[in-house]
Amino acid sequence: MNLLLTGEQRELRAAVRSFLTTVNPRDGYAPSGYERLNGELGLGGLIVPEEYGGSGAGHRDLAVVLEETGAALLPGPFLATVFAAIVLGELGAKEQLAAIAAGTPATVGPLWGGGVTESGGALTGEALFVNGAEAELVLVRTPQGVFACRGTASPVETLDITRSQARIRFDGEPALALGELPARASDLIAVALAAEQLGVLRAALAAIVEYAKVRVAFGRQIGSYQGVKHKLADLHCALEQAESIVRYAAWTADEDPEELPKAAALAQAYVGRACFQAAKESLLLHGGIGFTWEHDAHLYYKRAKSDEVLLGPPRIHRAKLADLLEL
Amino acid sequence: MDLAEYRSAARAWLAENLPASDPKTFMAALHDAGYSGITWPAEWGGQGLTQAEERAFAAVARDFSLPTYVFSIGLGMCGPTLLDRGTPAQKERYVRRLLRGEEIWCQLFSEPGAGSDVAGLQAKAERVEGGWLVNGQKVWTSVAQHADLGLLLTRTNVDVPKHKGLTMFVVDMHAPGVTVRPLRDMTGRSNFNEIFFDDVHIPDENRIGDVDDGWSVAVTTLLHERLSISSGVGMSGQRDDPSSFEALSASVDTGDPVVRDQLVELYVRSRALALFNQRLAQETKAGIFPGARGSAAKLLLAELTSFGADLGVSLAGPEAVADGHPLGAALALAPALSLGGGTNEIMRNIIGDRVLNLPPEPRVDKNVPFKDLKVNS
Ligand SMILES: Cc1cc2nc3c(=O)[nH]c(=O)nc-3n(C[C@H](O)[C@H](O)[C@H](O)COP(=O)(O)OP(=O)(O)OC[C@H]3O[C@@H](n4cnc5c(N)ncnc54)[C@H](O)[C@@H]3O)c2cc1C
């Protein structure tokens, strides 16, 4: 098992990081930015096999990229498209994979719960979809399997303003059957999300560490007070463990299918909560400015919580671990 | 040999050689088999391998009970300090014997008046004909009642700030004037001691590093201490740890969903730390020295140990605190890890100052000559 980044992965990280420096998380989905992201960096089809026009990269590479898009709070359907690519990859849906490699924004949903059913080749019902309004390819999970189908999307207000969601209604639209969703897809999605959460954690911590070096109270920098310093030290410990878990989980995604389910549940159980904890402490230690709309602290805070519940109430990951550990 | 083969060979050797007749015989056999001083230079009796093998061995050893507790201070702290800062003659004299368990070491830093702030210590060494004369007291010294040698930090200059007037020595624990008194610790056993030095003579050839430069030697020791504690180097195995996830999930009734969730929490924390330690080992192998990040691993281990013992006793209920129950004993032992090797607060200070580079606290003790400083009496 290798928990370190390779030289190539460090280069990938540097390239993505430098590309994302211009991103403003409040700008919303910018298709032109995504064109460059998919074109220059080839990120859209990162995990799509080469035969369908993708880069054929593994989940370890994907984790490196998601950590950066998470840290930058990249708005738009990047994560949703990754989730869709994971599902399509597991289903072996060639045509749709090729579309993703070509830059088609996509989503899959609902990620938790139901709401949509299939009958006679048509879908009815409604559910929440991450970036449902931006996605051109919509994959729908139903008790009858996964379908590709365009319904009527109505954007909803989201706590996390950097990631939009839409409620999509299906009123008997014809749907393309893609097959039963393999359990592995859910695990890979959990790992991918944990990688984004690691990035959010890292960025939220880095922001407050920097601020603690410059903000002065009672004649000295706030980072020199143990009440502040010790919290940041604890968050650093959490970051070290979160990174170790994400590297491990991504490694199992590529190399150890037997271990993947446990690693994926572990990743969500640990990283999801650590990420919110870091975002919360980061906000609080900023003081009043942290509570303002203009400051980014609340963006991390809201993204962290939205991510933590994205795949369902966090207890499901712990319950799954309990099952896998045969408790 | 790749790591997997290394691990299985180590496992086979341990299975064959344990339980051992006595600690010293076991150490000699361990050294002969190539598992003592794994990362230490071959020149001085080590095996010349990497931290990866060292940690791999420690991971395997966790499944066994190794009778190496009395050697842990020597292996984890004193030996690495000698390798970093000793003269060739000192390495020749001490290292191989340490690795073979022929001489037991202890670490004589803490005093009644100085623990976290160990640079504030007062045991003094004065220059005399042919060496030094030491007077003073040390305390909380683990395994000193068994020790042949000690790494002793003393004050040699009170006219300069506290960090600048310390000197490090190797002291013969059997020398005239050394009195070792075992102290009963909260487990009811005597693992640590208080030591009195009355006109103890130490030859100058036993000095490690320059006169008044003992602090930089001590920092080396403390860095090794944190890394060795967190990676379990030289520690006895944890097979018998009753508060591990494996032990608890086998011993408590998991019918209650609350219990299951608490065990999941223990599993999550244990795995998180194990993976972090594994990543540190891989980094070290790749040439990235963890340095102060070892303090994070040490802090996390202290907290995990305390969490596991607390949880174990709570899950087991009243039986756990009666009749010498192992979980009660684990709870009594748990604070050792949060105190020895630097307290949790000190670890957080180190992470804040050296890893995150946060501004230091204002200090009143940095530039004042030691003799003018407020110290514990
Ligand atoms: C089991 C065990 C084994 C040991 N073995 C050895 C040994 O072999 N050799 C040896 O030399 N020593 C040994 N020690 C001593 C150990 O290193 C000290 O006990 C420890 O460093 C704390 O020092 P102290 O006891 O003087 O407590 P103090 O330094 O008085 O600390 C009291 C409290 O104040 C806090 N505190 C102190 N300074 C700060 C600060 N700057 N910021 C925030 N909080 C602070 C501490 O965290 C602690 O909670 C051992 C201790 C134990 C418990």
Does the beta carbon of B260 lie under 8 angstroms from any beta carbon of chain A? Answer: yes
Query: DSSP label at B293?
Result: G
Residue contact A233–B260, C-beta within 8 A: no
Across the range A41-68, mean pLDDT stands at 96
Mean pLDDT calculated for residue range A229-249: 98
Q: Which CATH superfamily is domain A183-324 in?
A: Butyryl-CoA Dehydrogenase, subunit A, domain 3 (1.20.140.10)
Give the model's pLDDT for residue B223.
Answer: 87
- pLDDT at B239 (0 to 100): 56
Cα of B108 vs centre of ligand 1, distance in Å, is 13
* Of residues B326, B244, B237, B234, the one with CA closest to residue B19: B237
The pTM of the full predicted model, rounded to 2 decimals, is 0.94
Burial B265-279 (b: 16+ CB within 10 A, else e): bbbbbbbbbbbbbbb
* Partner B contacted by A223 (CB < 8 A): yes
Distance B347 CA to ligand 1 centre (A): 11
Least confident of A263-272, B73-82, B176-185, B285-294: B285-294
Residue B83 confidence class, pLDDT cut points 50, 70, 90: very high
Q: Does A159 touch chain B (CB under 8 A)?
A: no
> Is the predicted pLDDT of residue A70 greater than 70, yes or no?
yes
Residue ranges and CATH numbers for the domains of chain B are: 3-99 (1.10.540.10), 105-216 (2.40.110.10), 241-355 (1.20.140.10)
Give residue B56's pLDDT.
85
> What does residue A307 show for φ and ψ, rounded to 5 degrees?
-65, -40
B110 lines ligand 1 (CB under 6 A): yes
Average pLDDT of span B107-128: 97
pLDDT digits (tens, 9 = 90+) for B210-260: 999 999 999 999 988 887 777 664 444 455 789 999 999 999 999 999 999
Find out whether the beta carbon of B169 lies less than 6 Å from any atom of ligand 1.
no
Parallel, antiparallel, or unpaired: how do β-strands B166-172 and A122-130 relate? Answer: unpaired
The SS3 call for residue B16 is helix
Percent of chain A with pLDDT over 70: 100
Would you call the peptide bond into A110 cis, given omega within 30 degrees of 0 as the criterion?
yes
User: Which pLDDT score is estimated for B355?
Assistant: 97
CA distance A260 to chain B (A): 14
Confidence of residue B262 (pLDDT cuts 50, 70, 90): very high
Query: Distance from the CA of B117 to the center of ligand 1, in angstroms?
Result: 8
Going from the Cα of B342 to the center of ligand 1, the distance in angstroms, rounded, reads: 6
CB pairs under 8 A between A and B: 121
> A214 — contact with chain B (CB < 8 Å)?
no
Q: Which residue has better confidence, B119 or B3?
A: B119
Give the nearest ligand 1 atom to B114 CA: 26
Contact residues, chain A, for B351 at CB < 8 Å: 233, 236-237
pLDDT category, B289, cuts 50, 70, 90?
A: confident
Of A236, A242, A270, the CB nearest to B355: A236
Q: Please identify, by atom number, the ligand 1 atom nearest to the C-alpha of residue B117.
A: 29
pLDDT at B234: 47
Average pLDDT, chain B: 93
Q: Measured from the CB, is residue B72 less than 6 Å from ligand 1?
A: no
pLDDT at B18: 92
User: Looking at the DSSP assignment, which residues form a beta bridge with residue A127?
Assistant: A168
The string of DSSP letters for A256-306 reads -TTTHHHHHHHHHHHHHHHHHHHHHHHHHHTGGGGGSSSSTHHHHHHHHHH
Report pLDDT for B232.
61
Mutation choice for ligand 1 from B169, B189, B339, CB with most ligand atoms inside 8 A:
B339
- Fold of the CATH domain A7-179: Butyryl-Coa Dehydrogenase, subunit A; domain 1 (1.10.540)
The pLDDT confidence band at residue A276, using thresholds 50, 70 and 90, is very high
What would the pLDDT profile of A170-218 be if each residue is shown by its tens digit?
999 999 999 999 999 999 999 999 999 999 999 999 999 999 999 999 9
Contact A232 B358 (CB under 8 A): yes
Helix then strand then coil, % of chain A, to nearest 5: 55, 15, 30
Residue A260 predicted with pLDDT over 90: yes
The pLDDT score that the predictor gives to residue B237 is 46
Q: Whose CA is nearest to atom 43 of ligand 1?
A: B345
User: Would you state the pLDDT for residue B238?
Assistant: 54
Q: Of all residues in chain B, what percent carry a pLDDT higher than 90?
A: 81
Regarding predicted confidence, which is higher, B336 or B227?
A: B336
Which among B254, B348, B359 is the nearest to A233, CB-wise? B348
What digits encode the pLDDT tens for the residues B51-60? Answer: 778 878 888 9
Write down the pLDDT at residue B55.
Answer: 76
ipTM rounded to 2 decimals? 0.96
The answer to whether the Cβ–Cβ distance between A236 and B351 falls below 8 Å is yes
Residue-level pLDDT at B15: 96
Mean of pLDDT values over B306-314: 97
Percent of chain B at pLDDT > 70 equals 97
Would you say the C-alpha torsion A66, A68, A69, A70 has a positive or negative sign?
A: positive
Above 80 in pLDDT, residue B1?
no
Specify the pLDDT at position B236: 46
Decide if A327 and B260 are in contact by the 8 Å CB cutoff.
yes
User: If you average pLDDT over every residue of chain A, what do you get?
Assistant: 97
% pLDDT > 90, chain A: 98
Query: Which tens digits make up the pLDDT trace of B319-335?
Result: 999 999 999 999 999 99
| Residue whose CB lies within 8 A of the most ligand 1 atoms, among B186, B343, B366, for a mutation test | B343
Q: Which of B140, B190, B345, B361 to mutate to test the pocket of ligand 1 (most atoms within 8 A of CB)?
A: B140
What is the pLDDT, as a whole number, of residue B284?
Answer: 81
**In chain B, which residue's Cα lies nearest the Cα of A5?**
B283
pLDDT for residue B291: 85
Rounded CA separation A239/B284 (Å)? 19
- Ligand 1 pocket residue status of B370, Cβ below 6 Å: no
Q: Indicate yes or no: CB of B260 within 8 angstroms of CB of A241.
A: no
The helix (run of H) or strand (run of E) holding residue B76 is: none
- What is the per-residue pLDDT for B224? 85
Domain parsing of chain A, residue ranges? 7-179, 183-324
Mean pLDDT in residue range B141-160? 97
Higher model confidence: residue B224 or residue A16? Answer: A16
